[in-house]
Amino acid sequence: MKIVAVTSVRNEAPFLVEWVAYHRLIGFTDIVLFYNDCSDGTDLVAQALAKAGLVTAIENHGLPDMAPQVAAFSQARSFPQVKSADWAIAFDVDEFINIKCGDGRLSDLFDAVPDADAIMMQMRHFGSAHQIFMQNDLVIRQFDLASLVEHPDNMIVKTIHKMGRKFSGIGMHMPNFYQKYDALPRMYNGSGVFLPDTVHRMERLRKVPDGWGGMDLVQLNHYAVRSLDQYLVKRRRGSGTGMKNRFSREYWQQRDANDVQETSIHRMLPGLEAAIATVMADPAIRQAVDQARRLNNLEVMLSIRDAPPFAFQVAEAMSSTGDATSNDATDRGDDAGLAAAGA
């Protein structure tokens, strides 16, 4: 079975190895990775991963009147690699598919809903865990505080879906529907509950319809802010969707959800650490990661220099309450930490 992930990145070097290794571990056979305008070594790491056969890396030169991410997904729809897939999804490097059934693999999810044509995966937002500086550890381990289940923004979805007769191509939150069907696509929520077409109305929804949510089988762990320093790097970079001033004080307050500890994804850590060790054994990948480490350090410095007043207020509040964690608190020094925070 061919299962394809499509993503678009800019200045995401600290997170690429972990994200790629994790999603290959759970069953993605192909990862199509677009990158554009990188200054932190993301392009170097992407190219090294491509030479190792772990991703297809494509420099995104854009399309007229389209934001980079929109242009990437639009181009990907015509790729034979994507068109020939059995299943496909477009999602971001700050999102991890957390499968809660079976052994945590995509095959377990598909077995749980065998007649599904599409599965809507709701986001679970993970906060900074009160960290000012990112630690030398994996994202999915160090950021383990999340939003409450009933948080209203948990209704936002990304959708994994079959390719072929019922969907014409990938989309940002849901696939593009064909206008004519020989049979209506069968859509399910993250708890394996069937959504009739009268509920989703064949629309490309951003959120699961009211009353139809569920995350028992799968959720999308969304690490939107990570640590404060990396949030500032993201803010300086800007949004790939073209939204102006998206990464504001308000976005931080909304996404820095540290309400409850949520560690269901941690059962994948042993396999992920082994997978990362294998990836990092490639000298070209290690060299690219080491170079990106230095470039990302510069990005952090520049981002702090240009930080808005609210960032210093957040840091002061973290420090005054004793919640703040520095990057010295956990320094694993192994390949998992190097891949996660070393770039």
Burial 98-135 (b: 16+ CB within 10 A, else e): bbbeeebbbebbbebbeebbbbbbbbbbbbbbbbbbbb
Place of tokens 């079959």: 162
Q: Report the C-alpha gap between 266 and 264 in whole angstroms.
A: 5
- Would you kindly state where each structural domain of the chain is located, as residue ranges? 3-326
For the chain, the straight-line distance linking the first and the last C-alpha, in angstroms and rounded, comes to: 32
Q: What per-residue confidence (pLDDT) applies to 330?
A: 41
**Tens digit of each residue's pLDDT, the chain (343 residues):** 999 999 999 999 999 999 999 999 999 999 999 999 999 999 999 999 999 999 999 999 888 889 888 999 999 999 999 999 999 999 999 999 999 999 999 999 999 999 999 999 999 999 999 999 999 899 999 999 999 999 988 999 999 999 987 787 898 898 887 766 667 889 999 999 999 988 887 788 899 999 999 999 999 999 999 999 999 998 887 654 545 566 778 889 889 999 999 999 999 999 999 999 999 999 999 999 999 999 999 999 999 999 999 999 999 999 887 666 544 444 444 554 444 444 4
Cα angle, residue 93 at apex, residues 91 and 98 outer, rounded to 5°: 75
Query: What are the φ and ψ backbone dihedral angles of 298, each rounded to 5 degrees?
Result: -65, -40
Cα 309 from Cα 290, distance rounded (Å): 32
pLDDT at 331: 44
Which residue in 26, 19, 25 sits closest to 35, CA to CA? Answer: 19
| Distance, CA of 177 to CA of 183 (rounded, Å) | 12
**What pLDDT does 184 receive?**
81
DSSP 178: P
CA atoms within 13 A of residue 89's CA, in its CB half-sphere: 24
What whole-number distance in Å separates Cα of residue 184 and Cα of residue 301?
52
Is the pTM of the predicted complex or chain greater than 0.85? yes
pLDDT at residue number 341: 40
